[in-house]
Structures are given as structure tokens and as C-alpha cells.
Amino acid sequence: MNIYKFRVIIDTEEDVFRDIEIGTEVSFREFHENILKAFEWEEGEMASFYLSNEMWEKGAEIPLMEMDEIEHTAGTINMTNTKLSDYVSKPDEKIIYVYDFLRMWCFYIELISVKKAAPGVLYPNLALSYGTSPEQDSKEIDLFSDDLFSDVSENKNKVELTGDPEIDAYLLDDGQDDFDDNNFESLDGLDEYM
């Protein structure tokens, strides 16, 4: 059996990373579960992998699950039906992993090596643990962050507009106005965009 050795670095001020050895033929779902286990976090939030390049720009997405199960079609890519070897094969290839879309925990993953499984080692294997993992809920949720409305690799000032003038005006508001409860009464349907 062939094994990938990945370095998984969490985006924090402190240097914190884990080296995970895992079979080349396992699913991205199993890799997702092992990343959380390596950082001692619980499952339960949305997540996605993004193929990346040398500049750590996001490419094709491999989501945890299909976002619209009604329109599910055969061949839809998700973590469960996609193997690591489908998209990763050579050392230095990079992946971005985002966990919890409200807190936006970002992990930078690089394939360090491809090797044969070592006799007597159970895989997946946490080969190295460096630094103290942050608490899963230690990052504040910023509901008005531009990250909620834009792609992290694009201009953070972009907002995805809905086509409804009242809702778009709210989304484009710079937050400098004084608000009261009456500001939201005329924005029927806003909650479906938040």
C-alpha cells in the first residue's frame, strides 16, 4: 500500500502543524476526519478542500457534501466519493482546507512524500505533532466579515449581490449608520441570504 505524508498547518499566529500519513486511496472525507482528530477537534461544521497552486490560491472545490441534494447528479464531486489519489500525486502539491465557514479556520496542506507503508504501522498515522492546537471555538464569529460574502482568494471588498435592491443596499452598507429594529422590518426575506 502507498502512503501520502502531508504537513497540515493551521493558520494561527503560533506555529502549529501536524504531519499525517494516510493511504493514497482513502477518501477526502477520511482525510477531513483525520485532520480534525489530529487537532483534537470535533466534527459537525461545514468544510471544503480546495486544490491549490504555489501561491496558495484556491482552485477546484471538494466540499464535504453536495449543497443541493435535490439536484444531485451522478459524478458530483464531494469528499465521500473522491479519493486523495484522484487529485494529489506528487510531493509539493498543495491543498487548502477550510473548516467551519463562520469561523473560517484555514489549513494549508502540502504533500511531503509518497512512500510504501511501513511494516507494523497502522494508518492513518499522526507522524508529528508540533505546537498546541487552538480551541475549536476560540476564533470569534464575525457575522459582518467580508469573508462571508466573498471568495477568500479574491478582493475582500466584493459582495455577492442578490438582485433585490433593498437587500443589496443592506449588504453594501458600510456599517456606519445607526441601526434600530425598524431597519430590518422592510427587508423581508433577508434571512435567506444571511
Least reliable range by pLDDT among 73-77, 114-118, 119-123, 127-131:
73-77
**Residues contacting residue 19 through CB under 8 Å, at least 6 positions apart:** 5, 6, 7, 8, 112, 126, 127, 128, 129
- Mean pLDDT score, 154-173: 55
User: Which is more confident, 76 or 26?
Assistant: 26
Note the pLDDT of residue 151. Answer: 47
Q: How confident is the model at residue 65 (pLDDT cuts 50, 70, 90)?
A: confident
Neighbours of 161 (CB within 10 A): 14
Asked whether 64 and 49 are in contact (CB, 8 A), the reply is no
CA 67, 62, 153, 143 dihedral sign is: positive
| Whether residue 57 has pLDDT greater than 60 | yes
| Whether residue 43 has pLDDT greater than 90 | yes
Last residue of a domain, one of 104, 130, 156: 130
What is the residue whose three cell numbers read 480551541? Answer: 135
Q: Which domain holds residue 111?
A: 2-130
- 138 within domain boundaries: no
Note the pLDDT of residue 18. Answer: 98
- 135 within domain boundaries: no
Domain identity same for 7 and 98? yes
Record the pTM: 0.71
Count of domains for the chain: 2
Domain identity same for 40 and 102? yes
Domain identity same for 6 and 98? yes
| Whether residue 126 has pLDDT greater than 50 | yes
